[in-house]
Structure 1
C-alpha cells in the first residue's frame, strides 16, 4: 500500500475538483510551491495513483446486477469491463456477484436480450434503469481541501444531468477520444491530433464539458487514500422520501455515488469508509435524514473498471 503525504493527498483532491488544472493553478489555490506541486503531481500520474480521464455521457444509464456461475465472476467482470459502454464493474458480496453500470442511447433491446445474457460466466441479470443521478464520482471529494481552496479550483457546478447531442461532428468525436485516453491532454497536443487550432480546440472542449457531453474525472482507488471498505447500498424507501434522501446523501462525504433507480429498490448508493465499524455507523442511522428505509448491503471485493477506465491488475 502506498503511503501518501499530505501534499500528495491535497493534489489528488485538487484534481478531483478540476482534473485539467495546471500545476500553477493547483499551486496557487493550495498556496504551495509550484515546483513541489509539479513534482508530486507528475509522480502521482506517472505511477497511476491517480488517473484523469474523460468519460462520455449517453442519454440513458443502467445498473446491471449479475449472478454468475460458480467461479466465473472474474471472467464475467473482465468481459463486461471490456465493453466501451460500461463505466464501472465491481465484484460484490451477496445475492449478486457483479454490479456494472452501462450507458446507452437509442434502443437497448438487443443488448439486454441477447448480448448481456450471452456474456461468458453470467447466469442471470437484473436491470435497474437509472432515473436520476444525485451524485457521480465526479462530485466525490476526499475532504482534504478547505472551502476557499476548492472554490479557487472550481470550474463550475458538477453536472448530474445532460442533454446529449446525438450527432456530434467528426472533430468533436476525435477530441472526445483524446480526452478519454488522457483527460489532461493539452490543447496543443489535441490540436495537432485533430488538425485544428488550439483556440478552436479549447472552445470545443469548453462546450463539450459545459453541455455535459463529457466530464473529466480524477480516478483514485479509495483504498489508496485510506478508505479500505467500499459498499453498494440498495435502499428501499417511500416515494415521498426519494428526492429528499437522495439530495441529502449527495452531501455526505462517505458517498461516492447516489442514483435513483427503477426496480425493487429506489436508490443505489456507493459508500467508501475506512473500516467496517464506520460502515456500520453509516448504515445504522447517521446518513438517512430521518427517512423510513430498508437497506441491502453488498461489499465491493474487486473493482475491474472505474470511470470508464480498466484497472490494471
Structure 2
C-alpha cells in the first residue's frame, strides 16, 4: 500500500470508537449494520463513527495476498542514520513492519522473502542500504500469533465469535502457499489493495466481473487464506501507547509452548518462532511501561524461559504493509 495511515495525535479513541476499530480488526469487510448488531449499538451511530474512522485514516483497511515466507531483519545503523534506514525499508514493496528501537538493533523489519531469495537479500540488497553497518536475518519458522489475529481486550469472546462466523481466522504466511491466482483474482486483489472495504458493486465496476463472481471469488480467497484483509490501527489509539519488541530464548522442547502462551496475551500483537539464538520474537503493545515491566518479569510464560531481551519501539514507519505518518 502506498497510502498513508495513522493519526498524529496520541490521545486514545473513546470506548465506542475503539470497539468499532476492533470489530474491523476481526472482519474488515463486515457491514456497519452487522457490526452495530454485534456491538448492541444503533446502526446510524456505528455507520457515522466507523465511516469517520476510515475517512480520517485512524483505521486503514488493508487487503493483500498472504505472505509466502517471512523473514525478520535486524539492522545495526550508523550513528544518526536510523531514520534513513527505516525509510529505505519502508519503501520496499515486500516490507510489512518497520520499527526504530531503543538499543541494538536500531531497526527491526518484517519482510516477505521466499527462501530462494534469501541469499540475494543478504548478499546483494541489504549491503546497498545507506546507513547500515550490519544486519542479522531470522527466517520465520512458524508464526504462532499474527497481527491479523490480534484481539485487544476490547471485545468479549462472544462478540469476536459472532464477527468471525464460519470464516476461518485469516493468517499471514502460516500454512501452505497460496493457490495459483488467475487474472480475475489479480484484478480483485489490486482493487482491494487500495481499499479493503470496497463494495461488491464497486469491485464489479472496477474489474468488469459480475457481482456474483466478485462475491464468490472474494469469499473463496478469504476462506482459503489467500486474501488477508486487515484493519490497521495505531495501538496508542486503543489506549496502548507503549510498544516493544521482545526476543525470548527458551529450552528447545519448550519453544512451542512458550510461543503459544505468549500469543494468548491481549498485549501480544505478533509472535513467531525464528532461526537464531533467540528463538522467539514478539511485538507487544502495553498501556504503560509498568505493565511492560510486569509482562517481562512476572508472566506465567517465563517459567520455561532462559532469557528475555526487550527494546521499546520509538517510531513506526510501516505497519501491516501500510506507510505511517511517521514513515511518510
Query: What's the counterpart of residue 154 of structure 1?
Result: 164
For structure 1, the 5+ residue unaligned runs are none
CA contact (8 A) 1:55 1:307 kept: no
Query: What's the counterpart of residue 31 of structure 1?
Result: 40
Query: Quick check: 1:171 aligned with 2:184?
Result: yes
CA contact (8 A) 2:75 2:105 kept: yes
Mapping of 1:232-247 within 5 angstroms? 232-247=245-260
CA contact (8 A) 2:178 2:225 kept: no
Query: Quick check: 1:116 aligned with 2:126?
Result: yes
CA contact (8 A) 1:66 1:124 kept: yes
Q: 1:53 & 1:116 partners in 2: Cα distance?
A: 27
CA contact (8 A) 2:179 2:226 kept: no
Q: 2:120 & 2:159 partners in 1: Cα distance?
A: 47
Q: 1:45 & 1:152 partners in 2: Cα distance?
A: 22
Q: 1:89 & 1:78 partners in 2: Cα distance?
A: 8
CA contact (8 A) 2:147 2:270 kept: yes
Q: 1:5 & 1:61 partners in 2: Cα distance?
A: 35
Query: What's the counterpart of residue 268 of structure 2?
Result: 255
Query: Quick check: 1:294 aligned with 2:307?
Result: yes
* Deviation of the 1:106 alpha carbon: 5.7
Mapping of 1:29-108 within 5 angstroms? 29-105=38-114, 107-108=116-117
Rate the CA distance shift 1:167–1:150 in 2: closer, same or farther, 3 A: closer
* Deviation of the 1:287 alpha carbon: 4.3
Rate the CA distance shift 1:12–1:234 in 2: closer, same or farther, 3 A: same
Query: What's the counterpart of residue 20 of structure 1?
Result: 29
2:317 to 284, 296, 304: 304
Q: 1:127 & 1:80 partners in 2: Cα distance?
A: 14
CA contact (8 A) 1:234 1:295 kept: yes
CA contact (8 A) 2:143 2:271 kept: yes
* Deviation of the 1:209 alpha carbon: 1.4
Query: Quick check: 1:284 aligned with 2:297?
Result: yes
* Deviation of the 1:89 alpha carbon: 0.3
Q: Give aligned pairs, total.
A: 313
CA contact (8 A) 1:163 1:213 kept: no
Query: What's the counterpart of residue 219 of structure 2?
Result: 206
Which moves more between the two structures, 198-207 or 79-88?
198-207
**Secondary structure of the equivalent of 1:28?**
helix
Moved over 3 A (4+): none
Query: What's the counterpart of residue 4 of structure 1?
Result: 13
Which moves more between the two structures, 284-293 or 225-234?
284-293
* Deviation of the 1:4 alpha carbon: 1.9
Q: 2:322 & 2:113 partners in 1: Cα distance?
A: 17
Give TM-score, length-normalised by structure 2: 0.92
* Deviation of the 1:165 alpha carbon: 3.4
Deviations 1:80-114 (A, max 9, x none): 11111110100011121110000133621222211
CA contact (8 A) 1:63 1:129 kept: yes
**Secondary structure of the equivalent of 1:117?**
helix
Q: 1:186 & 1:248 partners in 2: Cα distance?
A: 38
Rate the CA distance shift 1:231–1:170 in 2: closer, same or farther, 3 A: same
**Secondary structure of the equivalent of 2:236?**
helix
Root-mean-square deviation (Å): 1.5
Q: 1:165 & 1:240 partners in 2: Cα distance?
A: 30
